[in-house]
Every structure is written in structure tokens, then in C-alpha cells.
Structure 1
Amino acid sequence: MSGHDVAVIVARVLTLITTIMMRLSLLPDFNRWRKNQSTGDMSVMPSVLLYTNCYALLFYAYVIDDMLPLFVTSVLGVIAGGLLAFFFYRWTDNKRQVIKIFIGSFIVCLLVTTYATLAMTGVTGQSNSSQGSTLGCITLTTTVGLYASPMTTIARVIRTKTSSSMPFTMGVVNVINSFCWGFYASLVGNWFILAPNIVGFTLGSIQLTLTFIYPNKPQANGQVISPGANAIATIVFQVLTIITTILMRISLLPDFNRWRKNKTTGDMSVLPSVMIFGNSYGGLFYAIAIDNWLPLFATSILGVVVGILLTVFFYHWAPNKPAVIKIFIGTFVVCVIITTYNVLALAGVTGQSDSSVSTTLGFIMIAATCLMYASPMTTITRVIKTKTPSSMPFTMGVVNVMNSFCWGVYGYLINNMFLLAPNIVGVTLSVIQMVVTYIYRSKPSKDDQVASLTSDYLQDQGELNVVILSPKQGDYEDIGAKDYCKSPSFVVLHSPSRGRRN
């Protein structure tokens, strides 16, 4: 897999995550509408354009055969946009104006459906490429409209000198999402995706600038609709922690892919997989105790599911199953203890207050989180001895640095030391792993006749396996296809007589 292919995969994951966040970015505003039974001075345009843009993208994604991330996230957007528009109409004071916007959206969707149906059935006589270009122009317009929708009340913002009518969370996510989509589009060479996201990034940045220029003012009832400076920072890092935590939960997928291809886990330890599960399992109870459903509870559920799947496949392909079983047993015992305590504490059997229960669970979380961040370094002795970092999951280390930093800042903003403390340790341990990886990084040979084949693991004895090719043997790919050894230090050496003519 080339560097470009890896970059495309990373960009797809990032766009998938940030687009899901963008599709759900109006939920904080929806929650406010529900509590107040009113939409306030917000416009319905963000909800309507979320639906309309995603509806058009469904056809475009189908024509260009981009099922992931484009088609999948568009389906989510259609559902979310439709529901948000419905509830906006239910709680708005100006239903007549909302109906006019609904009619306009319906006409646009009808025109898109009519054209797409005729084009895909061959009535228009266009080629598939031409259909993609036409639908691309349509989605370019709707995407720019979506990114501009939070600013439909900009005249009111400037006049009233308060940004309460602009959905702040949607603005923050739009900046991140448009950047990721622009990056992805530049990699795949799609200008119909790149162009509107450049505009989106610009408009999102303008909205955030206006939010700081015109801070919030109390309303007539004394409520502040949009967040203050500290709340703004909290929302930003809440979004960032969700994104980086999702990345952290799936950070072992590159290693899983290698296990699957080689049918062995090599010299990696099972602890990173187990600790993703263990940390997330403990996080579920702690999130319930402190009433933190997003991001803590939601990302913990994902971690439990991913951790279980990774440990099952690790055991399936592990060369040393007895050692893995011992770690499984230890993890099971810890989980039973945590579950027993939580059930008793939450049921009131221990006689502790809610604050005392959350404190106890907080200390458990500190231990579990520190162990998770330390788990990639369980083979550091082997790394130093063999001078190769192949046993440490590199992707997990990189993501851990970003994730622990975001959680640390978020913990500081909400004044939760049980989130802050272990993530300070996490940043430190992850940076150490990155330094060790850099020190013992793989170095290509200066001899063009030596080709290093990365495989699973280095033998504990530090053996170097060498295959000598005769001049009659062709390229070393044929030899590399055979399972001669399973060492990352395996090299193929061509015979000195290679290339000579007799």
C-alpha cells in the first residue's frame, strides 16, 4: 500500500467521523428548542439545507460510486435534516415563513429527482461522466448553501450585536468538516467536492469570528441563548474529544489488517486490545455516575464493542494462546469487581453518596486510562533489545497523543481532575513511544539489491533470515510471496553474479 493510499484511507475515516458530527451538529440547538418549546430567533434554513444538500448528494454519490463516506453520510443527513425541520416547524412562532422555505426545498428536490431519474435511465443520452458533472454542479450549489445557512441571520447579528441566532456548534463542526472534505477531495482529485468545501471553510471561519466579535447578551427572560467564552471552548473540545476518541477506538485496525493477512499477531501484545475494552468498560459506569453521556458514555460503548472484536481475533491468530488466556482471565476478574461495586453502589447498598461513588469510580478510571495509554509500550524491552519498534502499534501511539491532549483540555475546562490527570500521563507515555519509534525506526539499505520485507515479528533470538537468489531467479516478489520467515528484519539478498552474462 502506497503512502497516497494510506492518506486516502485516513482522509476517508476523518471525513466519515466529522460528517457524522456535522449531520448531528444541530442537536444542541434542538435540545434548546425542546426545553424552551420555541426555536427563538434561529432560522429554519440550516435544518432545511441539511436535508436538501444530503438529498442531492445521494444521487451524486450513486453516480460516482462513492458509497463510503459520501452515500452513507448523506442518508444520515436526510434523516437528521427531515426530523430537525419537522420539530422546527412544530416549535416555531413563524410557521408561514417556514412553510415557504419547505415549498422551495421540495421544488429543488423534485427537480433533482426528475433529472437524476431521466439521466440514469438514459433518457438524456448523457454518459456516466456527464451525469456526474451535472449532479456535481448541483451539489456544489447545495453544499455552499448548507455552509452558508448558519449565517442567514447575519444582518440580525450585526444589528443586535449578539450571535445568538447563529448555531454555534454547527459552525465549529463545519470548519472541521469542510477542511477534512477538502483534504479528501484533493487526494482523489474531485473538484466538485473540493471547491464548495474551500468556501465552507471560509464561511465557517467568518461565523466563528463574528461569534467572538459579537458575544452573547442575556435575553429578555434572562437566559443566554448561545454559549460564552468558556462554554465555546468546552463545545470545541467536546467535539474534538469525540473525533479523536473514535479514532483511538479504531486505531488498532491497521494492526488488525496485518494480523488478518499474515494469520498471526506476531510479537505484539494483546494488552492494547484488552485495555481498549477494559478502559471503555470502566468508562461506561463512570459516565453514568457523573451523567456525562456525550462524549464519555457514547465513545465508551464504541470502545467496548471494538475491544471485544479485537481481542477475539487476536486470540484466534495469537501464536501464544495460553499467555493471552491468562490476560483475559485477569481482565474478566477486574470487570467482575468493577461491575459488582457499581451495582452495589448505585443501588445504595454501600451507603455512599453520588459524589463519593463518582470519586471511587474516578480513581478506577485513572488506573484504567493510564494502563491503556501504557499498553502499547508493554514490549519496550524487546524494542530496545532488537532495535526495531515492530511490536509497538504505531498508529495507536500517534492517536493516543492527540486523544489524551484533547481529553486533558476537556477535563480541565469542565474541572474534572479524574479526566485531566490520566491524560497528562497519556500524553507523556505516548510521546515517549513516538520518540522510541523514531530512534529505532526502519532504515532502508543503501544497496539497491537489498529489499526489506516487513512481516510479523522478530525472533526472540534476534535471528536474521536470508534467502539467496540465483541469477536465473527473477524479481524477489516471487520469493517474498512464500512464507520463508516471519521477521521484520528479513531481507532478500541477490547473488553477486546476478545480472552478469556468462
Structure 2
Amino acid sequence: MVFSASHSVFIICRDAAGIAGNIFAFGLFLSPIHTYRRIIRNRSTEEFSGLPYIYALLNCLICVWYGSPLVSSDNILIMTVNSAGAVFQLVYIALFIIYAEKSKKVRMLGLLLAVFGLCAIIVFGSLQMTDLVMRRLIVGLLSCVSLISMFASPLFIINLVIRTKSVEFMPFYLSLSTFLMSTSFFLYGIFNYDLFIYVPNGIGTILGIVQLALYFYYKDSSKEDSREPLIVPYP
């Protein structure tokens, strides 16, 4: 009876953390809107790069597959948040292609097809594994590596903040959203006993703390309005 009650509490805590992570993730999904308002207004992608959105889409699609019932039956909230993230990235990529010059259009379309092709290979290959434990292990490792590399992307921004002593390129609410989302999914992974979730999000939590600490340390040095960075992590 005690074990059953304890297990129920863990499930409630897990689901609460996952739902919170889904909510906080929207702060990250919406972060490029400032950039795209400028692109649409100027009808040009200027010097902005579309690569971060391509990579974010690949990350989301891999994590969607890991969270699907065909790979892991207890990670539905991972599938939902990354499904939403994939939709946002597709919209951003579509807008980028619309307003990019011809050479960039061709490149982005090629990269988009490459992402879909790679994901199809991952899905088809993993489905050939009849051992469900091995399937979850392989796809989990891929999603973990993808998430860690995505969470490592703010290191460039952190280095820029320290070098310039300015938080111009590291908006507070984006850093806060990163920290809250990473912490939520770190707890979700802990409660779900899933190291493929709590390890990368634990790293994301640490990086989020570093970003917030730097923000409060250097915020008085920033005189200009913040701009949204182009690289955004997803769970």
C-alpha cells in the first residue's frame, strides 16, 4: 500500500513537471518572432542564418520519435512538446525560404529534405529492431546527443556576454525560459527514471543558471535594446 501511494505521488510529480516544461517551452518557441518581424518587414533574411532552425527541427523530430509509444510508452509529454516545437520550426523555415535570396532558398530546401531523409532513416532503422529495449536505447542515445549539442549552443552567447560585458544578445526572459524548461524536464526525467531526459536537461539547467547569473552581473552594463539569439534549445 505504501509503495503504491509512493508510486502515485511520483507519477503526479512527473506529469506536473512535464506539463510545466511544455508551458515554459513556448517561451523558447516564440523567441525568434522578433527576428522574423524584421525579416517580414524588410522582406529579406539579410545576414541571418537559417541553420539554427534546421538543426532545431532535426532535434525536435528525433525527440518526437523517442517520446512516441513505439519507442517509449511513458514519455508522451516529450512527444507533445517536441511536436509543437517541430511545427514552429517548420513555420520559421518556410518564412525563411520565402524571403531568402535564391541561393539560400536552394540551400535551405536541400537541408530540409536532408533532415526529413535522416529522420526517415532513423525511424525505419529503429523499427527493424524487434528488441524494444534496444530500440529505446539507440533512439534515446540519439536524442540525448542531439539535446546536449543543442544545449551547448548558448556557450557562444555566454562567451559573447563575458567578452563584451553586455547582455544585449542574451534577453532575460529567454534565459529564464531556458532555465525553467530545462529544470522542469530535468525533474520529469528524474521522476520517470529516464537518464536520456534528465542528463541533457540537467546540463541545460546548469547553463540556464549560468546565463541568469551573467545577466544580473552584466545587466547594468547594457545600454541597448536586447536582440533575440537565433539558436534555441528544446527538450
Indicate whether the TM-score tops 0.5.
Answer: yes
- Asked if 1:240 corresponds to 2:20, the answer is yes
Higher relative contact order (CA 8 A, sep 6+): 2
- Pair 1:272–1:227, CA change in 2 (3 A): same
Give the equivalent residue in structure 2 for 1:420.
198
Give the equivalent residue in structure 1 for 2:63.
283
Contact 1:283 1:300 in 2 (8 A): yes
Contact 1:377 1:433 in 2 (8 A): no
Give the equivalent residue in structure 1 for 2:10.
230
Matches within 5 A, 1:82-121: none
Matches within 5 A, 1:465-484: none
What is the TM-score when the length of structure 2 is the normalising length? Answer: 0.73
Contact 2:54 2:115 in 1 (8 A): no
Q: CA deviation at 1:275?
A: 3.6
CA distance in 1 between partners of 2:46 and 2:217 (Å): 21
Give the partner amino acid of 1:367: V
Give the partner amino acid of 2:192: I
CA distance in 2 between partners of 1:230 and 1:277 (Å): 31
Contact 1:376 1:397 in 2 (8 A): no
1:338 alignment partner, one of 85, 99, 119: 119
Give the partner amino acid of 1:341: I
Give the equivalent residue in structure 2 for 1:311.
93
- Pair 1:392–1:226, CA change in 2 (3 A): closer
Question: 3-state DSSP class of the match of 1:228?
Answer: helix
Q: CA deviation at 1:263?
A: 5.2
Contact 2:22 2:81 in 1 (8 A): yes
Give the partner amino acid of 1:277: L
Question: 3-state DSSP class of the match of 1:290?
Answer: coil
- Pair 1:314–1:439, CA change in 2 (3 A): farther
Q: Which runs of 5+ in 1 are unaligned?
A: 1-215, 218-223, 446-451, 458-502
Q: CA deviation at 1:420?
A: 0.7
Contact 1:249 1:303 in 2 (8 A): yes
Q: CA deviation at 1:230?
A: 2.0
Contact 1:373 1:400 in 2 (8 A): no
Aligned length: 226
What is the RMSD of the two structures over their aligned residues, measured on CA atoms? 3.9
Matches within 5 A, 1:253-402: 253-261=33-41, 269-288=49-68, 289-292=71-74, 294-316=76-98, 322=104, 329=110, 332-346=113-127, 348=128, 351-378=129-156, 383=161, 386-392=164-170, 395-402=173-180
Give the partner amino acid of 2:151: Y
Q: CA deviation at 1:264?
A: 5.8
Give the partner amino acid of 2:147: T
Contact 2:29 2:88 in 1 (8 A): yes
CA distance in 2 between partners of 1:374 and 1:332 (Å): 25
Q: Which runs of 5+ in 2 are unaligned?
A: 229-235
CA distance in 2 between partners of 1:233 and 1:225 (Å): 12
Deviations, residues 79-124 of structure 1 (Å, cap 9, x unaligned)? xxxxxxxxxxxxxxxxxxxxxxxxxxxxxxxxxxxxxxxxxxxxxx
CA distance in 2 between partners of 1:253 and 1:308 (Å): 13
- Pair 1:281–1:317, CA change in 2 (3 A): same
Q: CA deviation at 1:236?
A: 2.1
What is the TM-score when the length of structure 1 is the normalising length? Answer: 0.38
1:406 alignment partner, one of 177, 184, 188: 184
Q: CA deviation at 1:358?
A: 1.0
Question: 3-state DSSP class of the match of 1:291?
Answer: coil
Give the structure with higher Rg (CA): 1
Q: CA deviation at 1:384?
A: 5.1
Contact 2:182 2:202 in 1 (8 A): yes
CA distance in 2 between partners of 1:386 and 1:258 (Å): 24
Give the equivalent residue in structure 1 for 2:233.
none
Identity level (%): 19
Contact 1:264 1:317 in 2 (8 A): yes
Deviations, residues 257-297 of structure 1 (Å, cap 9, x unaligned)? 45445656677654543343222111121112102463122
Deviations, residues 142-192 of structure 1 (Å, cap 9, x unaligned)? xxxxxxxxxxxxxxxxxxxxxxxxxxxxxxxxxxxxxxxxxxxxxxxxxxx
Matches within 5 A, 1:124-273: 228-261=8-41, 269-273=49-53
- Pair 1:281–1:253, CA change in 2 (3 A): same
CA distance in 1 between partners of 2:75 and 2:172 (Å): 30
CA distance in 1 between partners of 2:99 and 2:209 (Å): 29
